[in-house]
Amino acid sequence: MITQQLLHPESIVVVGASNNVHKPGGAILRNILAGKYKGELRAVNPKEKEVQGVKAYEDVSELPNTDLAILAIPAHLCPAVVETLASTKETKAFIILSAGFGEETHEGAILENQILETVNKYNAALIGPNCIGLLNICHHSVFTQPIPTLNPQGVDLISSSGATAVFILESAVVKGLQFNSVWSVGNAKQIGVEDVLQYMDEHFDAEKDSNIKLLYVESIKDPDRLLLHASSLIKKGCKIAAIKSGSSESGSRAASSHTGAIASSDSAVEALFRKAGIVRCYSREELTTVGCIFTLPELKGRNFAIVTHAGGPGVMLTDALSKGGLNVPSLEGPVADELKTKLFSGASVGNPIDILATGTPEQLSTVIDYCENKFENVDAILAIFGTPGLVTMFETYEVLHQKMLINKKPIFPVLPSINTAGKEVEEFLKKGHVNFADEVTLGTALSRIMNASKPAANEIELFGVDVPRIRRIIDSIPEDGYIAPNYVQELLHSAGIPIVEEFVSDNKASVLAFAQRTGFPVVAKVVGPVHKSDVGGVVLNITSKQHLSLEFDRMMQIPDAKAIMVQQMLKGTELFIGAKYEEKFGHVVLCGLGGIFVEVLKDISSGLAPLSYEEAYSMIRSLRAYKIIKGTRGQKGVNEDKFAEIIVRLSTLLRFATEIKEMDINPLLATEKDVIAVDARIRIEK
Q: Please tell me the predicted confidence (pLDDT) of residue 250.
A: 42
Asked whether residue 565 falls in the same domain as residue 580, the answer is no
Q: Please tell me the predicted confidence (pLDDT) of residue 259.
A: 52
| Residue 456: inside a domain | no
Phi-psi region at 351: left, alpha or beta (left = phi > 0; alpha = psi -120 to 50): left
Could you tell me the CATH number of the domain that includes residue 408?
A: 3.40.50.261
| Residue 554: inside a domain | yes
Residue range 310-321: mean pLDDT, rounded: 95
| Residue 105: inside a domain | yes
Asked whether residue 272 falls in the same domain as residue 328, the answer is no
| Residue 560: inside a domain | yes
For the cut 50, the answer to whether the pLDDT of residue 417 exceeds it is yes
Asked whether residue 55 falls in the same domain as residue 82, the answer is yes
Among the candidates 101, 132, 163, a domain finishes at 132
Q: Please tell me the predicted confidence (pLDDT) of residue 482.
A: 93
The predicted-structure confidence for 559-586, as pLDDT tens digits, reads as follows 999 999 999 998 899 999 999 999 899 9
Instruction: Please count the structural domains in the chain.
Output: 5
Q: Please tell me the predicted confidence (pLDDT) of residue 266.
A: 85
The predicted-structure confidence for 194-223, as pLDDT tens digits, reads as follows 999 999 999 999 999 999 999 999 989 999
DSSP, collapsed to helix, strand or coil, labels residue 393 as coil
| Residue 491: inside a domain | no
Q: What percent of the chain has pLDDT over 70?
A: 97
CA 342 to chain centre: 44
Task: Report which residue type is found at 294.
Answer: F
Could you tell me the CATH number of the domain that includes residue 580?
A: 3.30.470.20
Asked whether residue 615 falls in the same domain as residue 672, the answer is yes
Residue range 349-365: mean pLDDT, rounded: 95
| Residue 481: inside a domain | no
Could you tell me the CATH number of the domain that includes residue 45?
A: 3.40.50.720
Residue 189's beta-bridge partner residues?
none
The predicted-structure confidence for 397-411, as pLDDT tens digits, reads as follows 999 999 999 999 999
Asked whether residue 395 falls in the same domain as residue 380, the answer is yes
Of the listed ranges 38-52, 231-245, 621-635, the one predicted with least confidence: 621-635
Residues 552-560: contacts with CB under 8 Å, at least 24 apart: 552/508, 552/511, 552/512, 552/524, 553/508, 555/524, 555/526, 556/506, 556/526, 558/526, 558/528, 558/529, 559/529, 559/535, 560/528, 560/529
Asked whether residue 187 falls in the same domain as residue 234, the answer is yes
Phi, psi of 526, deg, nearest 5: -75, 145
Asked whether residue 81 falls in the same domain as residue 201, the answer is no
Asked whether residue 327 falls in the same domain as residue 420, the answer is yes
Domain that holds residue 20: 4-132
Report the C-alpha gap between 140 and 162 in whole angstroms: 14
Residue range 365-383: mean pLDDT, rounded: 97
| Residue 490: inside a domain | no
Could you tell me the CATH number of the domain that includes residue 562?
A: 3.30.1490.20
**DSSP single-letter state for residue 535:** G
Cβ-contact 115, 78 below 8 angstroms: yes
Among the candidates 260, 294, 328, a domain finishes at 294
Asked whether residue 315 falls in the same domain as residue 408, the answer is yes
- What residues have CB less than 8 Å from 476, skipping those under 6 apart? none
pLDDT grade for 458, boundaries at 50, 70 and 90: confident
- What residues have CB less than 8 Å from 637, skipping those under 6 apart? 628, 629, 630, 631, 672
Residue range 654-668: mean pLDDT, rounded: 95
Asked whether residue 524 falls in the same domain as residue 555, the answer is yes
Q: Please tell me the predicted confidence (pLDDT) of residue 472.
A: 97
Asked whether residue 622 falls in the same domain as residue 547, the answer is no
Among the candidates 105, 132, 159, a domain finishes at 132
Asked whether residue 69 falls in the same domain as residue 87, the answer is yes
| Residue 441: inside a domain | no
- What residues have CB less than 8 Å from 512, skipping those under 6 apart? 545, 548, 549, 552
Report the C-alpha gap between 436 and 433 in whole angstroms: 10
